[in-house]
Structure 1
Amino acid sequence: MTRSRRVRPTLLVALLGAVLAVLCVLSIALGAASIPPDQVVRALFGHAPSRLVENIVWSARVPRTTLGIAAGAALGLSGALMQALTRNPLADPGILGVSAGASFAIVLAVGVIGVGSFHGYVWFAFAGALVASVLVYLLGRLGRSGLTPVKLALAGVAVTSLLSSLTSAIALTDPDALDRFRFFSAGSMADQDGATVLRILPFIAVGTALALACAPALNSLALGDDVAASLGRRLGLVRLQGVAAVTLLTGAAVAVIGPVVFIGLIVPHVARVLAQLAGIGPDHRWLLPLSALLAPCLLLAADIVGRVVARPTEIQAGVVVAFIGGPFFIAMVRRRHLSEV
Structure 2
Amino acid sequence: MSDARLDFNTLYTRHTREAWSALGEYMPVSVSEEEARALQGLNDYLSLEEVQDIYIPLIRFLTLHVFAEKQKNQHVNAFLNYPHHAKIPFLIGIAGSVAVGKSTTARIIETLLSRLGDGLKVSLVTTDGFLYPQKELKDRGLMEKKGFPESYDVKALLSFLNELKSGKQTVHAPVYSHLTYDRLEGVYETVEDADIVIIEGINVLQSPALDDLKDEPRVFVSDFFDFSIYVDAAETQIQSWYKERFRLLRETAFQDPESFFHQYKDLTDEEADHMASTIWNTVNRPNLYQNILPTKYRADLILKKGDRHKVEEIAIRRV
TM-score for the superposition, normalised by structure 2 = 0.28
- Name the structure where helix makes up a greater proportion of residues: 1
Q: Which structure ranks higher in relative contact order (CA pairs < 8 Å, sequence separation ≥ 6)?
A: 1
TM-score for the superposition, normalised by structure 1 = 0.27
- Name the structure where strand makes up a greater proportion of residues: 2
